[in-house]
Amino acid sequence: MPSPAIIDAGDGAPLTVRTGFALKLFYVFALLALASAAIGGVGKWAGQTIAMGGHTDSRTVHEIVIGNDVVNVPDNMIRFEKARQDGNAPRLDLYVRWPQMDGYSAEASDAFNHVDGERSILFISFEPRMMSRDMSHRFAPIYSNLIEPESRPGPAGLRIHRFTEASGYVDEVLAVADEPGAEPFVMRCLAGAAAKESLAPCERDIHVGKDLSLSYRMPPELAGEWRAVEEKVRDMANRFLRSASHR
């Protein structure tokens, strides 16, 4: 039998408690302390996760296969958490800050969270080509037949056309700019209230890689910089695709 431990009760009478029971109390308090520390750690992690709002500042590069193309992209440019992994994917959605063309970071958090209504994020998607022509090459055979012939001037040489009522695009306009020796620059934009509610109401698609279609959406504030946006988006796409081809 274990010997009893003697604790002074304070009134001169000894209080006896068996050592086994004392050890049990010690273990209980120790477990409570560990549980408290663990809860604090989980709370800190959860709080950080909530603060990130689905973003990540990780720059781990993932190799993602879309059809016959391979794209190498860092975590913090991949828009959705489930897509931040290597392997095959039917499409890939990215977001980058203009004009830096970088992904999420603590420094860029206001832009990605649209603080004070800021709209400076480009939304970019890679997916297999569904059409043989990109938006510029669809202008002559398709869009030119769906717009009103009259146009109003837009920024940086753009002409803004309204769609005809029969086109099905009554809540959109078509922005067109002639490019010497090339197909015109073409971009569809939401109009009216829908444009004000959208973070990036102007959309364009281009062909990149072997068999990929890249679509990008941008805020209307960048319409006057459409040449620079187009150039930087193409450069980014080629960089990601080129790095995959030189593994």
pLDDT on residue 19:
55
pLDDT on residue 97:
98
pLDDT on residue 29:
46
What's the Cα-to-Cα distance from 135 to each of 187, 210, 214, 216, rounded to whole Å?
7, 17, 11, 11
Low-confidence ranges of the chain (pLDDT < 50): 1-17, 25-26, 28-30, 32-51, 244-247
pLDDT on residue 41:
44
Dihedral over alpha carbons 198, 59, 213, 146 (to 10 degrees): 10
Predicted confidence (pLDDT) per residue in 15-51, tens digit:
444 555 555 544 544 454 444 444 444 343 333 433 4
pLDDT on residue 3:
38
pTM recorded for the entire structure: 0.79
| Residues 17-56: b if buried by 16+ CB within 10 A, e if exposed | eeeeeeeeeeeeeeeeeeeeeeeeeeeeeeeeeeebeebb
Checking DSSP bridges between strand 121-128 and strand 212-218, what pairing results, if any? antiparallel
| Residue 207 C-alpha from the chain's centroid | 21
Checking DSSP bridges between strand 121-128 and strand 147-153, what pairing results, if any? unpaired
**Any idea where the domains of the chain sit in the sequence?**
4-52, 61-245
Q: Which residue has the tokens 């193409």?
A: 234
Give the H or E element holding residue 206.
strand 202-208
Neighbours of 125 (CB within 10 A): 18
pLDDT on residue 52:
58
Q: E strands, 48-201, where?
A: 61-66, 69-74, 87-88, 92-97, 121-128, 147-153, 159-163, 172-177, 185-190
Taking the C-alpha atoms of residue 208 and residue 108, their distance in angstroms, rounded to an integer, is 28
pLDDT on residue 247:
47
Q: Which residue has the tokens 């709209």?
A: 119
